[in-house]
Amino acid sequence: MTKNILVICAHDDDMILGMGGTLLRYLDEENTVTQIVFSKGEKSHPHLKESVIAKTRKKETEKIAKNIGIKELIYFNLEDTKLNKKIDNKVKYKLKKIIQKTKPNKIFSVSKKDTHPDHRAVNIAVLEVLDSLKSKYPVYTFQVWNIFTENLPVLHVDVSKYFNEKVRITKQHESQWFSVYLQLLPVYFRAKLNGIKHNCKYSEVFYKVR
């Protein structure tokens, strides 16, 4: 039976870095995936024009989404590094309506334990919106920057079959080559260590927060 998966990110490369193997597995199993990106990511290159960076990042992500079969890619186009100030009631209302429309079987979002302040801002906003709804949805967080485990219930997904493809797709965020390559080693070690814990080659782990 097809399930609706909603992935809510601060930046457009968060999803593939944090849960790319799981994403590919869910798509392979013919589930429907909707992706929300809060930030334009325009400040990732301080020496380049912000409008060019934002446009390039969006183009890269749209191409990836189309190629792997994301049903819908939604941008909130908020200012990068300022999400704690830019996520207002209007943005939360928009998020609420998307959740009510998609009726997701699972929601994935960035962890408040990540060091990036935008990730924490998105996590807080997502949980605040969900707690305001009558309908309840299972919510799982994934880590992008943080390498430490959390003391929460765990969802483990065997991504051994999909890990190499995840790495290949991650590299398609070419405008973010520096941060992407910086994070690939932690991504590999996380997947490998989680795989050892769960008796498979590579595993992605998520923490149930609702």
Q: What is the per-residue pLDDT for 206?
A: 97
Q: What is the per-residue pLDDT for 44?
A: 80
Domain, as residue range, for 132: 4-208
Mean pLDDT of the chain: 94
Nearest-angstrom CA–CA distance, 130 and 132: 5
Give the total number of structural domains in the chain: 1
Percent of the chain with pLDDT over 70: 98
Range list of H helices, 69-158: 83-86, 89-102, 117-131
Asked if residue 148 has pLDDT above 80, the reply is no
Give the CATH number of the domain where residue 133 resides: 3.40.50.10320
Pairing of the two strands 203-208 and 154-158: antiparallel
